[in-house]
Amino acid sequence: MTQERWHQLTYWPLIITSVIFIVVYSWQVIADLQGPAYAVARIIIGVTWVVFAVDYVVRFALAEPRWKWFRGHLFDLAVVAIPALRPLRLLRALTVVQALQRTAGSAIRSRVAIYGAGAAAILIWIAALAVLEAERGAPGANIENFGDAVWWAFVTITTVGYGDFYPVTTWGRIVAVLLMCGGIAVVGVVTATVSSWVIERAAATAGDDNEPATRGQMRELAQQLAAVSAKLGDPPAR
Amino acid sequence: MTQERWHQLTYWPLIITSVIFIVVYSWQVIADLQGPAYAVARIIIGVTWVVFAVDYVVRFALAEPRWKWFRGHLFDLAVVAIPALRPLRLLRALTVVQALQRTAGSAIRSRVAIYGAGAAAILIWIAALAVLEAERGAPGANIENFGDAVWWAFVTITTVGYGDFYPVTTWGRIVAVLLMCGGIAVVGVVTATVSSWVIERAAATAGDDNEPATRGQMRELAQQLAAVSAKLGDPPAR
Amino acid sequence: MTQERWHQLTYWPLIITSVIFIVVYSWQVIADLQGPAYAVARIIIGVTWVVFAVDYVVRFALAEPRWKWFRGHLFDLAVVAIPALRPLRLLRALTVVQALQRTAGSAIRSRVAIYGAGAAAILIWIAALAVLEAERGAPGANIENFGDAVWWAFVTITTVGYGDFYPVTTWGRIVAVLLMCGGIAVVGVVTATVSSWVIERAAATAGDDNEPATRGQMRELAQQLAAVSAKLGDPPAR
Amino acid sequence: MTQERWHQLTYWPLIITSVIFIVVYSWQVIADLQGPAYAVARIIIGVTWVVFAVDYVVRFALAEPRWKWFRGHLFDLAVVAIPALRPLRLLRALTVVQALQRTAGSAIRSRVAIYGAGAAAILIWIAALAVLEAERGAPGANIENFGDAVWWAFVTITTVGYGDFYPVTTWGRIVAVLLMCGGIAVVGVVTATVSSWVIERAAATAGDDNEPATRGQMRELAQQLAAVSAKLGDPPAR
């Protein structure tokens, strides 16, 4: 079985597993489940974890060469191995970003904008869940309900940072650092998209005649010239 | 009646309605109107709301195809439907931004800068009004007068975020999130404009001879070559 | 007398007046002068103000057309008219930025970087002075000495905004807003400079052969072709 | 002995000295050494300082012309001369950045990203150490352990600035200012890298035929034309 085949087979099951994970995890954290309900939620989350772990192992086994694949998928390993990062697993859905590599022309800008907004929304949601789970009940913590957690996530990802809410636990701070990095990336993507548009418009001048000459035009000209040369035959002997 | 015709007919009435709205709304919020004056202000605001709602419905009815128009005007719907977003209605005046799509050359930079500054100014003003209306009198709120609200709006849109003032109500936080997004966009626009200028100057080299060849030059050359070819006639038979 | 001539005559006197102003103003604010020393400092500052006001009036009188000049120099008017903005007068020294308009090629990047750093340094210094003068002694103020004021200016211009110090007076907040705008501009300039470099390097490919063809090459080719055409004379009659 | 030769000889010894310095300095600050252990750590750090000072002096003596070298290495002088900046010495390892100057094509983006991430990581580590050494035990200080110092460094470099921790000493604030400047640079690098990618993709259009014509194509065409001209010989005498 090739990696490509495995990807095709597991694409939809993994998306569905991701959605189940996020729904159950949101429910567990927001409702602050206790007792049997908590146990049920943890079991479902555990099963989704096993699914992702198996997927990671199989992809590693199929990879060729394995060392290169391992280096290129450290993020996947971190998500599978470290409990606090579990919610980030949903970002996997964004690996479709690689589809961007194949897009070109001005359509790239709207795609970049859409993916950027989508990634920011998922990041805010899961960061709010993860920070709430880490902070709730910790001594000295000030993020105590989901509304405040979402507000904190917005204030952090935009790098505003009022300081009315901030994490105090180690896990909460790790989540915050990842969210800040996401914030810088979002600012970068917004700026890049606007820049690209401004630069293109500023470079655009009246009419096609002032655009740089193209390679296609060049090839046509070369053929035309070759035809002229053929008409002449060999240099005339005088 | 076409959408185009409706646009022409309603352009000035809607701008005037927007201005009436912002003046009355500013007066109501800043003066913290009570009793009959409050009732009058709310009635005028209600009338401006009806005008915008009718405009939305008519444009939807005239749109072709309707579904595509609907998807492209979700922002308009949100402004009409959600009370807390009402002040954002004034941003409609900025839809002239579409005029930018037709501008080209280096003039684009000053236009982008002017629209960016204008949008930021309107955004700060209406965010200050909206946050003040949402926060004033709320338990634990610290934004209690218009001066503080404007100061808070500046501190937020620039992503400085001292934390001396911050919203505590849900509506106030929604306004804050929209303002932060505006702040990121403003930073993006400033950076993009400067970038475009620096990149253009860095690419500029001494004299026209080192600029990329143009398509116009290419076409001229091809014509010249065709003339040479015509002079030669058919390949000489030897 | 032309504007150009006035500029040449007043260039050095105005720079020197600016330096005198900043030295005396720094001394007055940092040493928190009282009594006679304060009076002397204010008189010297008053004289520098008169010099700048005279310069503004003469330039306005010489301008042609006056209305356009007026619109393009609103910043100069604000600096002369509003006391709190007086320190910003030193930024005049940076009008040499117009020299940038004439620079091209990759040298533009180091110049932009140098001017950006210089402008940021002047802005931090005068914002610290102005905010300290506005805040010192105000009820509830927390910026009470020059060290804290400089620290506050750095925290603000970089948009970090810890909130350990923040202005509470109206003048102090106006200074802060100008400083924040300066901060966004500085970020924009840094990003633009780095962007320009990365974009240029990314576009650079191995060897000159893959660079876009130049207009100079095109003109040479057209001449070559014209020579061929001349050799052929009129189309041979066969 | 030439500067080049000195560089080759000292490259590895200086890297090793840097590593020894950072390890011992981290150990001294994190473990808050006292008594004999502190003395030992300071002696080792002193020896590394002597190594760097000697390197600076030798390079200055070998430089040609010395004044230009001096101006271009003010950062090196500051690192050697000012105790609080000592940890920044490790940034020397990043002078390999000059290797970037020789890289071109799209590979530049991944290199810029890697160096940017590496520089940010070193900067955060040494800023946390330096701020902790400056702040620990100072009256009114709130950064009292290494975990909080690292968290503070992340919050500062991303310009979020919650204000839950901030330096209160002069040395601590100098470290903070350098870290903020680093933060702006990191944002600039991220944005530049994304911008470059978006701009390139947006400019890319379907197929090679629409790329700008290259100088290589131009030269080929000119040779082809010269061949045609040679075939024709001198203009026919009629």
Q: Which two tokens stand for residue B172?
A: 């106030």
- Does B232 map to a domain? no
- In a shared domain, residues C185 and C162: yes
- Does A233 map to a domain? no
Nearest to D218 among C197, C204, C217 (CB): C217
Query: Per-residue pLDDT averaged across D40-68, rounded?
Result: 87
Spatial contact of A184 and B184, defined as CB atoms under 8 Å apart: no
Chain A CB within 8 Å of residue D228 CB: yes
- In a shared domain, residues B107 and B60: no
- In a shared domain, residues A76 and A151: no
* Cα(C13)–Cα(B49) distance, integer angstroms: 59
Partners of D144 on chain A (C-beta within 8 Å) are none
Q: Which two tokens stand for residue C142?
A: 């927390």
CATH code of residue D119: 1.10.287.70
- Does A228 map to a domain? no
pLDDT tens-digit map of B11-61: 778 778 878 888 888 899 998 888 899 999 999 988 988 888 888 889 888
Q: Which residues pair with C78 in a beta bridge?
A: none
Q: Largest Cα–Cα distance in chain D?
A: 107
**Probe site for chain A from B159, B197, B211 (most A CB atoms < 10 A):** B159
The string over B181-190, giving b where at least 16 C-beta atoms fall within 10 Å of a residue's C-beta and e elsewhere, is: bbbbbbbbbb
- In a shared domain, residues A173 and A187: yes
- DSSP 8-state secondary structure symbol assigned to residue D94: G
The pLDDT-based confidence of D62 (bands split at 50, 70, 90) is: confident
Which residue of chain C has the CA closest to D190? C191
- DSSP 8-state secondary structure symbol assigned to residue D236: P
What total of structural domains would you count in chain D? Answer: 2
Q: Which residue has the tokens 């022309």?
A: A105
pLDDT tens-digit map of A78-98: 777 765 555 555 655 555 544
Of residues C143 and C215, more confidence is placed in C143
Q: First CA to last CA across chain C, in angstroms?
A: 74
* Cα(D179)–Cα(D67) distance, integer angstroms: 29
Identify the chains in contact with C, defined as 3+ C-beta pairs within 8 A.
Answer: A, B, D
CA dihedral D163, D165, D168, D173 (to 10 degrees): -80
Shortest CA gap B233–chain C (Å): 7
- Does C234 map to a domain? no
Partners of D208 on chain A (C-beta within 8 Å) are 215-216
- Does B219 map to a domain? no
Domain that holds residue C70: 1-81
Of residues D233 and B115, more confidence is placed in B115
pLDDT tens-digit map of C76-118: 777 777 655 555 555 555 545 445 555 555 566 777 777 778 7
For chain D, the average pLDDT equals 79
Pairs across B and D, CB distance < 8 A: 15
- In a shared domain, residues D76 and D94: no
- In a shared domain, residues B116 and B190: yes
Domain end point (choices A81, A110, A129): A81
- Does B29 map to a domain? yes
Residue type, A60: F
- Does C220 map to a domain? no
Nearest to A191 among B100, B183, B188 (CB): B188
Query: Per-residue pLDDT averaged across D150-165, rounded?
Result: 92
Residue type, A83: P
Partners of B215 on chain D (C-beta within 8 Å) are none
* Cα(C139)–Cα(C129) distance, integer angstroms: 18
- In a shared domain, residues A147 and A47: no
Identify the chains in contact with B, defined as 3+ C-beta pairs within 8 A.
Answer: A, C, D
Domain end point (choices C81, C107, C131): C81
Q: Cis check for the bond before A65: say yes or no (omega within 30 of 0).
A: yes
* Cα(B197)–Cα(B36) distance, integer angstroms: 54
Shortest CA gap C56–chain B (Å): 25
* Cα(A78)–Cα(B185) distance, integer angstroms: 32
pLDDT tens-digit map of D72-113: 777 778 777 765 555 565 655 555 544 555 555 556 677 777
Shortest CA gap A30–chain B (Å): 17
Partners of A163 on chain B (C-beta within 8 Å) are 161, 163
CB-neighbour burial class of residue C113 (10 A; exposed 0-12, middle 13-18, buried 19+): middle
pLDDT tens-digit map of D166-215: 999 998 999 899 889 887 887 788 778 877 777 777 766 545 565 666 66
- In a shared domain, residues B136 and B194: yes
Give Cβ neighbours of residue D90 (< 8 Å, ≥ 6 apart). Answer: D18, D21, D22, D122, D126
Domain end point (choices C52, C81, C110): C81
Nearest to A213 among C163, C195, C213 (CB): C213
Query: Per-residue pLDDT averaged across B82-109, rounded?
Result: 56
DSSP chain A: --HHHHHHHHHHHHHHHHHHHHHHHHHHHHTT--HHHHHHHHHHHHHHHHHHHHHHHHHHHH-SSHHHHHHHTHHHHHHHH-GGGGGGGGGGGGGGGGGGGG--TTHHHHHHHHHHHHHHHHHHHHHHHHHHHHHTT-TT----SHHHHHHHHHHHHTT---SSS---SHHHHHHHHHHHHHHHHHHHHHHHHHHHHHHHHHH--SSGGGSBPBHHHHHHHHHHHHHHHHHH-SPPP-
- In a shared domain, residues B63 and B104: no
- In a shared domain, residues A128 and A189: yes
Least Cα distance to D191 among C154, C188, A105, A111 occurs for: C188
- Does D233 map to a domain? no
The verdict on a CB contact (< 8 Å) between A218 and C218 is no
- In a shared domain, residues B40 and B107: no
Least Cα distance to C201 among B106, D120, D109, B62 occurs for: D109
CA dihedral B152, B157, B159, B162 (to 10 degrees): -10
User: What part of D 151-210 touches A (C-beta under 8 Å)?
Assistant: 151, 154-155, 158-164, 186-187, 190-191, 193-195, 197-199, 201-206, 208-210
**Integer Rg of chain D from CA:** 26
Confirm whether the ipTM is greater than 0.85: no
Chain B CB within 8 Å of residue A225 CB: yes
Pairs across A and D, CB distance < 8 A: 144
- In a shared domain, residues D58 and D151: no
Q: Which two tokens stand for residue D96?
A: 């390999």
DSSP helix/strand/coil, C202: helix
